[in-house]
A = this chain, B = another copy of it.
Amino acid sequence: MDAIKIREATINDLPHIVKLMADDTIGRQREIYTAPLEQCYIDAFNKIRDDKNNILLVACDDEKVVGSLQITFTQYLSHKGSVRATIENVHVAESRRNLGIGTRLMKYAVNLAKEKNCSIVQLTSNKIRKDAHRFYERIGFRATHEGMKLSLE
């Protein structure tokens, strides 16, 4: 695990991130990994990179991307005008699970949230992902809320 490094993603990591996203029970129904990548992913990456409230993180083993997540900081009025951190799109390569990579990524993200004085770190996880819920509970998250979605597609 010492070789694992967490850092902000660059455009060179993007194909690896999209591959991780597409190589997933739910992701394979909605993502497309091609070489070269579809332009929609490149446009999205550039918008995320240019927004100070959004950070894409990758976990790398040497130079190989083995995990990723996105963290978003949002100013709210609630909790006396606090900022919250929302984590989305958490992925670890299937062949590299249960090795602590997800924990390292999440702890890095939680530390970023602490540095920004966030009141809460939050995420939603599909109810079919029971393993993921146990993982998040192990690192301190509590499933106190219903995560409700309305698809517009």
Instruction: Point out residues on A near B: beta carbons under 8 Å.
Output: 17-18, 21, 27, 30-32, 38, 40-41, 43-45, 47-48, 51, 53-54, 56, 70, 72, 74-82, 86, 88-89, 110, 113-114, 118-127, 133, 136-137, 139-153
Asked whether, in the complex, the Cβ of B151 is within 8 Å of the Cβ of A148, the reply is no
Contact of A123 among B41, B144, B148 (CB under 8 A): B148
Q: How many copies altogether?
A: 2
Chain B min CB distance to A85 (Å): 8
B141 A81 Cβ-Cβ under 8 A: no
* Additional A-B contact list (15), CB under 8 Å, known A30-B79, A140-B150, A146-B146: A45-B77, A70-B77, A79-B153, A119-B151, A119-B153, A121-B150, A122-B147, A122-B149, A124-B124, A124-B148, A125-B146, A141-B148, A143-B148, A144-B149, A145-B146
